[in-house]
A and B are shown apart, each in its own frame.
Chain A
Amino acid sequence: MLRAAAVVEKLGIPAASIISSPFLKQAEVVKKGLDVPLAIGVYPGVPLLDSDEELAKKVNEVLAPGLLAGLTDEMPKDAPAEGGSDSAPGAAVFSGTLREVQDYFHKYMLSDGLPVIPPTREAVDEFLRYTDRKPEEVLCAIPQEAREASILSIAVNGVMSGCRPEYMPLLVGIVEAMADPVFRIEDCGSTPGWEPVVVVNGPMVRELDFNFGQGMMRIGRQANSSIGRFVRMYLRNVCGFRVPPGAGDKGSIGQSFLVAMAEDEEAAKAMGWPTYAQAKGFGPNDNVVSVRSVISVSGPMYTAGTHALDHVGVWAEMMTQSFGYWAYTAFKTGKWYPLVVAGPGVAKVVACEWSKDKVKQYLSDHILVKAGQAQHYARVGSTPTFTFERYVEEGILPPEYAESKNMERMVKPILKPQFIDVLVAGDPGRNQSRAYLCNHIQGAPVSKAVKLPANWEALRKG
């Protein structure tokens, strides 16, 4: 929201923004990233929890006077940023024992609360050997503190997270994917508390020893675990998404980092299905990293039977049950991206009868929610004026979503079957699958090819 205010101020027009008091600290972080002074009128408390009388009193006594002052009075000076004072990239900022290094990073909120590997010059240089890019190269100014997403910053945070140097090409690809405008990393601190998950495809899955089988989403395998940790470390240290006593991350409850996923590509190929990356347009031997948000995870989807419908029919029912209440976000944005992690044994049965595209079409057609439920939850969650008609008028939903006023009618949150992804992974010895839902347009799926250094083979042979 403050991004809009910054655009206005930069046009030379004074703006004042309405912020509820629990969001003031996050607003300060966002303001620093925008680097333009922004006036704020404060609404004390939570607007959705106040009576009409309380709301009117707060607006008249606090908010409106604050907004008026913001438009008419001189702007106050801003406070300094979190994370300690800015230092020179590449320079040592602290010297100490292992314990003292941990304490230093914790003190300045430059860690995730777990012990980190000290990012010494030598350790970082080892990572930099695994990329042809120069350490000072900047991929972009990454939200929300608008800092440089430099190759050096990726290496330092990779070291701290316990990654191996040879993961560096993937780490660069991951930051490139997260920095893609489609991913909307600026929304990573929103209250639903979504978490990015990395999906790895290509020969690197085996070469770097990713777990794509039983227990794939458990902490325990170095590649999966440390790369998942890296994502959250980077979001804190460079992007500025910090939980209290930090401020940039407003996830109300949130969730911990997710270990990286990898696909059982041999299983997928044996059954004739394109891999996750192939479905995104990449070749069968391309190394690819993808990122996507996870706002909700289904329960374990156990299925049995010898026909595709025996399995996919249950997936549709369980995904509706698991994600149904969040469907209003699909109607507000027109975008909803579920991922099915299909157990290899189950996928094999399905693939005997159905293509991946047919699976997606079925799920898109059969995941249905009641219109009244979506409207009710939208109104209590964030949008008291929610109607299907509004989003049809805005061109986000097709006209048929406003053709009936019957709140008992069933409506589709997945507008297009291609919004659904399927990944073959998990325990081949059990009939279980799971589904992972993106947070609508926030953290939408993005894939990037991994660029290996020219001397990759030589480096690997050591």
Chain B
Amino acid sequence: MTSTSNEPRYDVLWPSSRKAVKSTAAAPRLPDLNGKVVCELWDILFRGDTIYPIVREYIRGRFPDVKFIDHKEFGNFHGARERDVIKSLPEKLKKFKADAVIVGIGA
């Protein structure tokens, strides 16, 4: 749309605001999962009971010595207990000597 020279002009401020978090680098990846512990976190949604076992077998097919820790060890990290379960994660991951984690399911 074109404007005419006698129309008022407005200098407008930005309606958003600064990001308030500092960037964190991703954890180092693990090229070889043999001998590693992979923990499963599940939000009890969207057929995870079917999906996780298939994922487990797929990864085992490539890294036979990988060990999985079932989601039941961690609890449902979504919903009413979300904050408590997430708060307990560092200790539980340490307990199980977690090397990697699979988190699901966002759908």
Contact = CB atoms under 8 A, between A and B. Distances in A.
A64 B107 contact: no
A67 B55 contact: yes
A7 B77 CA distance: 12
A37 B44 CA distance: 24
Given A8-B89, A18-B105, A36-B26, A48 B12 contact: no
Contacts of A43: 51, 105, 107
A19 to B, nearest CB: 4
Range, interface on chain B: 35 or more
A217 interface: no
Nearest to B3: A97
Given A1-B106, A92-B13, A75 B26 contact: yes
Interface in B35-53: 38, 41, 43-51
B27 A13 contact: yes
Nearest to B7: A97
Nearest to A61: B58
A52 B93 contact: no
A333 B80 contact: yes
Interface string B61-77: 01000000000000111
B50 A334 contact: no
B29 A74 contact: yes
Interface residues of A, number: 105
A272 interface: no
Interface of B: 1, 3, 7-33, 38, 41, 43-51, 54-55, 58-59, 62, 75-81, 83, 86, 89-90, 93, 98-107
Interface of A: 1-20, 22-23, 27, 33-39, 41, 43, 46-48, 52, 55-56, 59-60, 63-65, 67-68, 71-75, 83, 86-101, 103-105, 110, 118-121, 124, 138, 141, 145-150, 152-153, 156-157, 160, 181, 233, 237-238, 332-335, 382-385, 390, 394, 396, 441
Given A65-B58, A118-B10, A145-B19, 13 more contacts: A10-B24, A14-B27, A18-B48, A35-B21, A47-B46, A63-B55, A64-B54, A71-B38, A72-B32, A99-B1, A100-B3, A120-B11, A237-B15
